Every structure is written in structure tokens, then in C-alpha cells.
Structure 1
Amino acid sequence: MLAGTASVLVHNCNENIISNADGFDNSAELSQVSTGDVYRGVYDPNGGVFYARLSIDEKEPSRFPNAVLSQGGHGEVNFWHFRGSKETIGFNIFFEEGGISVAWFSRSVNRRNHGDPMAPLEGRQAIMDAIASVTGRQVRSK
């Protein structure tokens, strides 16, 4: 890409990531999601911010930059975006026909942080509201 007369490297550092963080642009990612895509997400109840990364079964960084493995993916998201916080909540985003469903199971975040692999009930509605806000889609609990 050219910026004036100088070449500039463009890096898609947000590829395969969805977030409600200030200034985060989800437009490219949301235009590419398909029914059946799953994202592993982590939410910080103190700041109301979440990050979710595409979940895959085999790590292929060249094909899926920023994606996480389906096993342990929440822990990786928590490490990269929240410095391993012990207050965060893990969740799963499932893109479906007509909307999004959210599941609440995470061993690497919820069990570690809250003593139970299921997300605490009191954080769930805020997570669904945040997802609906950035995606513009109907969100339901799974």
C-alpha cells in the first residue's frame, strides 16, 4: 500500500478477533463470519470489555492469524488481552442463522477464576448485551 510516495506495510492485527474495546474496528471481521463459526471470548466485568478470537481445531497461523485452539483458547485470550486476570469471565460465541448464541463453559478461565467451568450468572447479561452492541445481531444464551 502506498501512503503518499512511501510504501507502508499494512498489518491486519485485528483479523479473527471481535471486541468492544474503544476504537476497535469489527467491520472487516463481521463481514467475513459464517454460520457455524465459533469464537472463544473473555470479558472483564470491571471495564465491560471483551475480546473474542476465532476458535479452530488445529493451529494454522498462516491461514488463521490470531485464532486460538478450541481447547485452552479462553486462557490464551485472557493472557493476551487481560494479562491473565483472575476476575475475567470466559464464554463462547456461536454464529448461527438469524443471530448468535452464547455458551458459558470455560475450564481455563471460569474454573480458574470462579471455581466453576460455567460462567457466573451475574455476568452473563452484560456479556450478551456487549456482543449484541458490536455485532448488531440478536444474541441469546445457549
Structure 2
Amino acid sequence: MPTGFYSHNSKFLIAVDCIIFGFKNQELNILLTRRPLEPNKGEWSLMGGFMDENESLDKAAEKVLYRYTRQKGIYMEQVGAYGEIERDPGDRVVSVAYYALVRLEEFDTSLAKAFDAKWVNIQELPRLIFDHNRMVEDALRL
């Protein structure tokens, strides 16, 4: 239970961004979505969400992954933390990126439509919002 010892320090948001990879015809693909809200509404984005006050980073990433794929028990690995002051024009947000590899044949395509998401060949990766391209580049180096 928080005691307030750090109440004089700044508060900001913590997000998780999931880099969801899948293989199709022996080629690596990535699941992208059109951002549903401002800032940058309608632009290509990774799947993301905010960490709740009472959850760990790993649980937040699992929550985001499940929201977009309806799959559980998927191996995920933390890629890194991204905390440039101006990385998100909406607010002061630190994001921790995770990557996962899912089976495309088990992916529910109706979910993709609900989130305006689609699989994109990694060789055709478009410009993504914020620092999401850097997150993908870092994940590919792991």
C-alpha cells in the first residue's frame, strides 16, 4: 500500500506497446492498427495500452496482447523502455515495449476488423506513430 513518501515527485503515465509478430508463407509479418484516438488518430500504430495502478508491467502486456489477439499463454519478451520527454504528444508517457510471436492461423480475423488492424509484411513496414518504428527495430535485433 502506497505511503505517500514520494508524493513530492512528478507523476506520469506508463504504457505497454506490444509488437506482435507472426509468420505467413515463411515471411515475418507484424500486426498493426490504426490509432483510434487523438493524438495521431488514424495513423499506423503498435497495439498498446496503459498499465493499471494495481498490475505489473508483464500483466499489463498480457492484458494488451489478449485484448488484441484473444490468445493466452503466448511467449512475450520485454524489448526495452522508451521515455523521451516528447515521445507522446498527448501527455508525459513512458512506454515499455514487448514482442510476441503468434500463430497467424490461430488469429481471429474478426478481432482485426474490430480494431482496424491488419498484418503487414515486415519488409513493407509503414511509418508508425511516436517511436514505434524504433521499438520494432529494437525487437528485430533481439
* TM-score normalised according to structure 2 size: 0.31
Name which structure has the greater RCO, CA cutoff 8 Å, separation 6+.
2
* TM-score normalised according to structure 1 size: 0.31
